[in-house]
Amino acid sequence: MLVVDADTHIDETEATWEYLAEGEQQFRPLAMDAPGQRGLVEGDARPHRLWLIDGQLRVRRFRNDQRTGTTLATRELVNIDERMSRMDEIGVDIQVIYPTLMLSALTPRPDVELALCRSYNRWMADRTAASQGRLRWVAILPLLSIDEAVKELRYAVDHGACGLYKRALDCGGRGVGDPYFFPLYEEVSRLNVPICFHTGDTFGGNPALTEFSSSFSGAVSLGNLLTISAFINLVLNNVPSQFPNLRFGWIEASASWVPYLVHDLEAKQKRMNSLKFEFARELFGQGRFYVTCDTMDDLSYILPYGVEDCLILGSDYGHQDQSAELEAHRILRSRAEQGDITMEVADKILSDNARRFYNL
C-alpha cells in the first residue's frame, strides 16, 4: 500500500525566484532582515526575516528544526534525497507539497503575479523532477489573468503538479462560485486534477494586508473559516452540478466542521424556499469533496456523514503550527489497531482516497 501524505510544505527561498524571465527581474522578491521587528510568537525574541514584494514587507518564517523534524535542505528542497530519506523514516511513500509564502495573495498587479507564479512553478518542477513521483506538488496560478492561469496549469500538470491551490476569495473578493473562474474549472476538469483549498490565507485574498497590518490578529482567527466558507459558496452556486467531474479538497482545516455545515445546508434547503440548490451529503460519498482529517478528529462521529471515501491525511511536514504531526499516519493506523476505526477505513484514509483525489 502506498501511503500518501496529503499535506506537506516547503519554504520559498532565493532560489525560488531564479526562474524569473529577463524582463521580470524588477519583480524579484528581496530578502532582508529587520532587527527592529520581533517574532510573531510570544516569547520569540529573534528578529524577523522579511521578503519585500511589490512594495510590501512580508514575513519569511523562521523554523525550529527540532520541532518540525526538518533541516534547511529538506524544507527548502536543497536536497531531495535527504527529504525522501526522512519520508522513509516516518513511513510515507508520497508527499504532496504546498507553499508557505504563496498561500497568501502577494500583489494586486497581474504582471507581478504572473512572474512570481511562473517562477515558483518552474522551481518546483525542477526541484522535484528527480524524485520519481514521490514528491508531488500543487500549482500556484496567476488568477488575475485567467487565460494565463489556464496556460500555467497545463505547464504545471505536465511537470509533476497533481492539483492547484485556490483561495476562498481571490481577485478582489471573488468567491469560488464566481463565473470568472469557470474557464479555469473547465481546464481543471479536462486535466483531471483537483482544486485545493488550504488554510494559511488569513487575509481573504487581499494583498494589501500583511502580518504587519493592524487587523492581523483578527485575520489569523478567521483563516480556517475563510477556507471552509468555500464549501458553502460552491454548494449555493451549484458549481458541483455545473462541473460534474471536478474534485475539491479542504486541506489542513480538520474535518470536524463537516457535520455542522451538512446540517446547516440541509436546513437551508428544507426551510428556505428562496434558496435553490442541489445538495446532499452524497457530495462526499460520490468522492468529489475531500477533506483532510487530523489525529484529534472524532472520526466515529464524522464518518456517518458520508466521508469514508473522501477523508485524507496530512502531516503538515515543514510547519510547526497546531496542524503539524509528523507521526500522523502511524497514529491513525494505531487508532485502527485499537478499534477506534476499522482497518479498511484507515487504509482508505492513508492511501486510497488521497490517490484518487490527487490522481496519483
Domain annotation for the chain: domains and CATH numbers = 4-9+64-358 (3.20.20.140)
Taking 50 as the threshold, does the pLDDT of residue 353 lie above it? Answer: yes
**What confidence score (pLDDT) does residue 189 get?**
97
Taking 50 as the threshold, does the pLDDT of residue 303 lie above it? Answer: yes
pLDDT tens by residue, 43-78: 455 556 899 999 999 988 878 888 888 999 999 999
Q: What is the mean pLDDT of residues 247-274?
A: 86
**What confidence score (pLDDT) does residue 278 get?**
60
**What confidence score (pLDDT) does residue 210 get?**
79
Per the model's pLDDT, the better-predicted residue between 262 and 106 turns out to be 106
Q: Cα 135–141–146 angle (5° rounding)?
A: 150
By the 10 Å C-beta count (0-12 exposed, 13-18 middle, 19+ buried), 331 is classed as: middle
Taking 60 as the threshold, does the pLDDT of residue 108 lie above it? Answer: yes
| Beta-bridge mates of residue 313 | 293
* DSSP-derived 3-state class of residue 3: coil
Which helix (DSSP H) or strand (DSSP E) does residue 133 occupy?
none
Q: What is the mean pLDDT of residues 165-178?
A: 95
Read off the amino acid at residue 189.
S
Taking 70 as the threshold, does the pLDDT of residue 23 lie above it? Answer: yes
pLDDT tens by residue, 127-152: 999 999 999 999 999 999 999 999 99
Q: What is the mean pLDDT of residues 185-211?
A: 91
Taking 80 as the threshold, does the pLDDT of residue 297 lie above it? Answer: yes
* DSSP-derived 3-state class of residue 324: coil
Least confident of 65-79, 129-143, 171-185, 340-354: 65-79
Taking 80 as the threshold, does the pLDDT of residue 285 lie above it? Answer: no
CB 348 within 8 A of CB 1: no
**What confidence score (pLDDT) does residue 287 get?**
62
Distances, alpha carbon 324 to alpha carbons 68, 157, 203, 252, 318, in Å = 8, 27, 21, 9, 8
**β-strands 174-175, 248-251: how paired?**
unpaired
Taking 70 as the threshold, does the pLDDT of residue 275 lie above it? Answer: no
**What confidence score (pLDDT) does residue 180 get?**
98
Residue of 264, 266, 328, 265 whose CA lies nearest to 299: 328
Taking 70 as the threshold, does the pLDDT of residue 36 lie above it? Answer: no
Give the rounded distance of the alpha carbon of 348 from its chain centre: 20
Residue of 348, 354, 259, 263 whose CA lies nearest to 302: 259
**What confidence score (pLDDT) does residue 219 get?**
57
Distances, alpha carbon 56 to alpha carbons 52, 105, 115, in Å = 6, 11, 16
Least confident of 67-76, 79-88, 180-189, 317-326: 317-326
**What confidence score (pLDDT) does residue 42 get?**
46
Read off the amino acid at residue 182.
F
pTM of the predicted structure, to 2 decimals: 0.93
Q: What is the mean pLDDT of residues 30-36?
A: 78
Measured in residues, the chain has a length of 360
Which helix (DSSP H) or strand (DSSP E) does residue 184 occupy?
helix 182-191
* DSSP-derived 3-state class of residue 32: strand
**What confidence score (pLDDT) does residue 324 get?**
83
CB 11 within 8 A of CB 319: no
Confidence of residue 175 (pLDDT cuts 50, 70, 90): very high
Taking 90 as the threshold, does the pLDDT of residue 162 lie above it? Answer: yes
